[in-house]
Each structure stands twice: as structure tokens, then as C-alpha cells.
Amino acid sequence: MRSNGCGNLRKKHIDSFVQLCGWVDRCRDHGGVIFIDLRDRSGTIQLTVDPDQGPELFAIAENLRNETVLQANGSVKSRPADAINEKLNTGEIEIQVKELIILNKVKGNLPFSVSIHNEEPIKEELRLRHRYLDLRRERMQQNLLLRHNTIKTARAFLEEEGFLEIETPVLTRSTPEGARDYVVPSRVCGGDWFALPQSPQLFKQLLMVGGLERYYQIARCFRDEDLRSDRQPEFTQLDLEISFTSQDEILGLNERLIAAIWQKVKGVNLNLPFKKMTWKEAMDRYGTDRPDTRYGMELIQVNEIFKTSGFKVFSNAISTGGSVKCITVKNGNKSISNVRIKPGGDVFSEAQKGGAGGLAFIRVRENKEIDTIGAIKDNLDPQAKETLLEITGAKTGDLILFGAGETTIVNKSLDRVRQFLAKELSLIPQEQENSQWNFLWVTDFPMFQFNKDENRLEALHHPFCAPNPKDLGNEEEKWNDRLPKARAQAYDLVLNGLELGGGSIRIHNPDLQKQVLKTIGLSSEVVQEQFGFLIDALEMGAPPHGGLAFGLDRIVMLLSSEESIRDTIAFPKNQNARCPMTQAPGNVSTKQLEELHVASTWVDPE
RNA sequence: GGGACCGUAGUUCAACUGGUUAGAGCACCGCCCUGUCACGGCGGAAGUUGCGGGUUCGAACCCCGUCGGUCCCGCCA
């Protein structure tokens, strides 16, 4: 049916007869000669239809509309010297058309224009409702090509490293920890339910117990939680697991994997090894476990200066176990007005979104004079002021912003403010090819964090991460005390403040695994019921193993400079987890429900 | 569950901040045009201003509710 791709033709094809198929991108009808831009996945080329080629052909050309599916047969010709289009890869040539065959017509108005030449912003709802049209556009084609190349490179790399690609079940069982499950009723096993996997975590560990040694998968994962621009109910992980390995080996291998992807897809040579930072250091200096270290404005703890201060907001925060931390905004006096850091201001509300009740500030004026609210100024003696200016490095013209209260909230709100101001003040370096890809391993996460609502410990990553032996020791009788405070052999890969992936060395000792599950409050009955198969497996010769999973959608989002992972997925869901094209999820018949032994309690709110 | 913003022709936007007939570009339809490439020219059709209620002499604009969407918090790695 076709001999070439439209976008692949060049001067070397001149005088050859070609058969092209594609979509009408646009027409220019001059009354005599008619130009048609024909587009397929490879690109666009100009077709030229002359009246002297016959009235039938001309009549077809005259009545074409955009997005008509067209076959064009004709000869490749060079364009007249003054008609060369340098903006087009195929701009030196054109097709002298001998025959046009309409393969399919377009009925009615198109909801939006596909042609890149009419790139008005289109409401995303509309793009998703007619995703097949949206996918025809260059931007989505580029993104999906980039996604394909990313996966292809990962497969080739892992193949070379001795990995096997193995599929794991999509219908599996619900587990207590983590996100809400998508649940599927079983017709055959009445009253029982499958859950869709939140990740292949346990299966990949069991593959290691099964002696497969090196596994990977492009794995679809499901989480029934509320959506964000970087979160979909079904998303894809590049998931891998290795037996007989160490943390360093896993980090090294994954750095090389990432470097291979960036090399192939972006042509960028990353510097290896990536930088490393412990979780504690990240929290102290940046207030987040995924810091953007491309710029400074670090958080500085100033508890010592304010613990005896008469400014109660600060001293109370410290005496109740919290912190006072600050960031120094260079030349902030000029760039950030008081209106913006007081209630109602954009900087203030950014701190508020992080949970802060307020945003205290000090402006440094000439001769180390400070300008702030009276309650702070009156309670800051000269020595304390001197120390503050010294450890913050604040100079004339600088603005110091404070967070005070519970340490987690201080960290969270100052992290937000820091990121917000970095964008506002353009502190993020854009220019150098390599510095815009700031990779960072964050290591030594705690095993657990305290969940206030449920009044219990919960696993920070998941409850299969192995604790650091240095923190745990060998004597089992001390596990009870030591485990809750232990660091995990867990690590995240962070790029420019976004988490790309994470993993850990896993527990392969069944007693330790039981102890960890007990620590997060699971009774031995629940452990037996929900994780019995894992404990059994660990008792039957489980090798030491560990692994990692990357968020593939997010990687592609960064590589394609998109702001939403929806633009990296062919058919994504909207923010209500609905597919605007198919309208899924939808009704099922009463008969289907009966077969599944399920009755709906849903009542339409009237 | 909560907060913010948005919804006007097929589409992207406008409409003096409450004023009478809701405009424009692209797309669409018709006519003209032989070297354009965001082709050009002339003409035309196209609207329940998301929906429901209220305030008002008068509502796209103000108020309440509702539906849909985006971003964020909670939630989620």
C-alpha cells in the first residue's frame, strides 16, 4: 500500500515513484495548483496537484479537508529554488501527484486541530475525550516514542546484565499495608476477592527464592488513592530484583541503567557515580527526603539561639520538642515584599500549605540592623543576633524566613517555601547540559515512622526492607528495642527534587520478617493469614536479595519535559480516575453482579 | 473529605466590570485565486454563556446550589 514514510523522503529520492499514506495536515488551494501537506508518523511532505494532471484528480484535491486519510501516488521532484521550505525536513522536495485515493473521510467538525501549525492550547478534558486525535499530534507522538525508547534501552541494558523479564500476577491478594487496593470480586470463589497489585513486591522476592536471581519487569501497578498530576490509578514501574547482592551493587547497577537511558534517549552523558546523602542529612538541610540540591537556600536549625527567647512562638516550639529553622533568601529584601510574607501573601500561603501557622521573618538592613516584628526584635539580644547572622550567613539586603513548631511541619513548610522561592527567583540553573540533571541517592531511611492517627509505627518504605545490621545487632533478644529505631537498608533515587524510584535490601530471615510485621502492629494471626506464604518461602532457603523500582511514567515525564504523567501515557485517567473517552468505570448488569455474589450499596445522591 | 481556580460558537479567546442585537481568529460552507507552506481575497452559517434557582427594571457578569474540569491539602511512595 505504501512505499515510504512521508517524513523520510529526501533529495536522493528525486524522480522515484512513491506511494504514500497518511492524513491531510493542511491544504493550500491556489485555484490552479493545490498544495497538500500529507502527514504520517514519520513526518510531513508537500504534495503538489496540477490541473493538467486531469479533472478527476483535481476534483479530489479541491475537496479535501484536514485529517482526511489519503493515499497519494506520484513522483518525488525537487522544488523550485525559490520555493524551498527550510522549516521542513522534506522542504527541498515535493510529490508531483498522479493519483489520490481517499481512504477515509472526516465527518463534521473536528473537536480540535491536529496540525502542529495550529497549536492552540486545548482543554485537557477534550484531548482525553478524543485521545485518538490527540495521539496524532506531534507532541504525543514524540512522548510515546520517547517512552518506547526508554523501555527499549532498559530492556537491552538489563538483558546484557543477565536479567530475565518475568511477568507476575495482576490478580492477587489484598495486603494490609500501603495504599488502598483496587479490588476484584471472584465469581468462582464466591465471597472472596482479588486485589490488583500495588507493586510486584512480594512476587519479585519470591522469584528470588525461586532461584531466578535477576528479574525485571515493566509492571503495571494499581493504587486506589486520589490523583495528582504525577499520580495515576494505574501506573508503570520498571521493577527489578537481584539475589546475592549488596546495596552498593544495586546502586551502581541502577546508575548505569539510568545513564544508559539518558544517553540513548537524550544523548546526555551523566556523571557517575551519583551523589549520595543520608535521609537524616536530607531532612535536616532540606526538610524533605527528596531534596532539590541544584540550589542553596538550605534550612538551618536555630534552636540554640531561640530556646530561651522571650518570643514564645519560638521558645515554646523548642521546649515542646519541636524546632525553629530558617532559610536565608539572598537579596530577599528587594525581591520579596512584606505583603507576600504576611497572611494572604503568596509566600505565606505556601508555608501555610505545608501546615505552618505563620511565617516569621527578619530583614537584614545596613550595619546589621534588623527589621522585623517587635516581638522578635525586642527579644533578640545583640549576642544572639550576631550568632544568627553568622550561622545563616545573612548579609545586608537578605531576608530570613522562619518556621517554628513541630519539626515535621517546620520541615514541610520551609521545604515548600524554599521550592516556591527557587522558582520565583529563578535560582534553578537551566543552562548547562549536565547540571540540569541533578541525581541524588538518598540512603539510610528509618525503618519506621510513627502514625499519630493510628497510634502505631508504620513502615516508611514497606515492611520487607532489611534493617541496617549495625543498628540491629545479632542478638535476637535485643531486636524488640533496637528495631523500631533502626535505619533501613533502603534508598531512593531523586532527580531535581522528584523521586524517580526506590528500593531496599530485603529481609531474608523469617524470624526478623515476623518481628518487623509485629512491630507495625500486625498480630501473628494476621501475619500467618496474609503473609504466611512469604514466611514459608523465607524458611525454605531464601537467598539474600534486594532491588529497586522506578516510576517509568515519571521518568518519561522528566525526559520529555512534560508537567503531567498523563502526557506520557497513551490512555490516562482524569483526576476523578475516570476515562473521559470510554467513560469507564461504568455500569454492569444485575446479572453480572449476581454471578459475582455482589450487591451494590451505592445510592445516587439526589 | 477539604481549599483555590475555571466553564461563552466545533475550538481558542473577547465582551467597558450589571445595560439593551454576546464579538474576533482558526475550523466549517460558498465563490475567486497557478508556487504556497500560519497562502491570500470576498461572502455565509454557527450560541439554552455547563445546568437549576435567586437578587435586579435589566445577569455571561452579583448571590446560592449543582454538574464537569484542573491544581493543591488530606491520602498515596
pLDDT at residue A450, rounded to an integer: 86
pLDDT at residue A434, rounded to an integer: 66
- Closest nucleotide relative to residue A290's CA, C1' based: B77
* pLDDT at residue A452 tops 90: no
Residue ranges in A168-302 assigned as alpha helix (H):
201-209, 247-266, 279-286
Nucleic strand B near CB of residue A583 (< 7 Å): no
Q: Average pLDDT, whole number, for chain A? A: 93
Alpha-carbon span A335 to A425, nearest angstrom: 8
pLDDT at residue A424, rounded to an integer: 83
* pLDDT at residue A39 tops 70: yes
Cα-to-chain-centroid distance, residue A218: 15
Identify which has the larger pLDDT, A436 or A1.
A1
Alpha-carbon span A237 to A218, nearest angstrom: 6
> What are the phi and psi torsion angles at A172 (to 5°)?
-140, -160
Pairing of strands A214-222, A164-165: parallel
Nucleic strand B near CB of residue A562 (< 7 Å): no
Mean pLDDT of A3-15: 97
Residue nearest B37 (alpha carbon to C1'): A85
pLDDT at residue A166, rounded to an integer: 98
Summarised one tens digit per residue, pLDDT across range A132-148 is: 999 999 999 999 999 99
* pLDDT at residue A443 tops 90: yes
**Which distant-in-sequence residues (6+ apart) come within 8 Å of A427 by Cβ?**
A295, A296, A297, A421
User: CA of A39 vs C1' of B44, distance in Å?
Assistant: 31
- Closest nucleotide relative to residue A77's CA, C1' based: B35
* pLDDT at residue A431 tops 70: no
Secondary structure element (H or E) that encloses residue A240, with its range: strand A234-243
The torsion region of residue A577 among left (phi > 0), alpha (psi -120 to 50) and beta comes to: left
Summarised one tens digit per residue, pLDDT across range A507-543 is: 999 999 999 999 999 999 999 999 999 999 999 999 9
User: CA of A130 vs C1' of B46, distance in Å?
Assistant: 22
- Closest nucleotide relative to residue A231's CA, C1' based: B76
User: CA of A566 vs C1' of B37, distance in Å?
Assistant: 32
Summarised one tens digit per residue, pLDDT across range A93-119 is: 999 999 999 999 998 889 999 998 777
- Closest nucleotide relative to residue A62's CA, C1' based: B33
pLDDT at residue A606, rounded to an integer: 52
pLDDT at residue A585, rounded to an integer: 94
Mean pLDDT of A36-51: 96
**Which distant-in-sequence residues (6+ apart) come within 8 Å of A527 by Cβ?**
A514, A517, A518, A535
User: CA of A16 vs C1' of B40, distance in Å?
Assistant: 33
Summarised one tens digit per residue, pLDDT across range A236-270 is: 999 999 999 999 999 999 999 999 999 999 999 99
Mean pLDDT of A30-56: 95
Mean pLDDT of A392-420: 92
Mean pLDDT of A265-283: 95
pLDDT at residue A117, rounded to an integer: 75
Nucleic strand B near CB of residue A55 (< 7 Å): no
User: CA of A95 vs C1' of B29, distance in Å?
Assistant: 29
Angle between helices A510-519 and A524-538 (to 10 degrees): 150
Summarised one tens digit per residue, pLDDT across range A150-195 is: 999 999 999 999 999 999 999 999 988 789 999 999 999 999 999 9
Nucleic strand B near CB of residue A79 (< 7 Å): yes
Nucleic strand B near CB of residue A605 (< 7 Å): yes
- Going from the C-alpha of A57 to that of each of A31, A50, A343, the distances in angstroms are 14, 9, 70
User: CA of A134 vs C1' of B60, distance in Å?
Assistant: 30
Give the global pTM.
0.93
Residue nearest B39 (alpha carbon to C1'): A28
User: CA of A123 vs C1' of B18, distance in Å?
Assistant: 29
- Closest nucleotide relative to residue A32's CA, C1' based: B34
pLDDT at residue A487, rounded to an integer: 96
Which of A32-41, A420-429, A583-592 is least confident? Answer: A420-429
**Which distant-in-sequence residues (6+ apart) come within 8 Å of A230 by Cβ?**
A498, A553, A554, A557, A564, A565
pLDDT at residue A430, rounded to an integer: 72
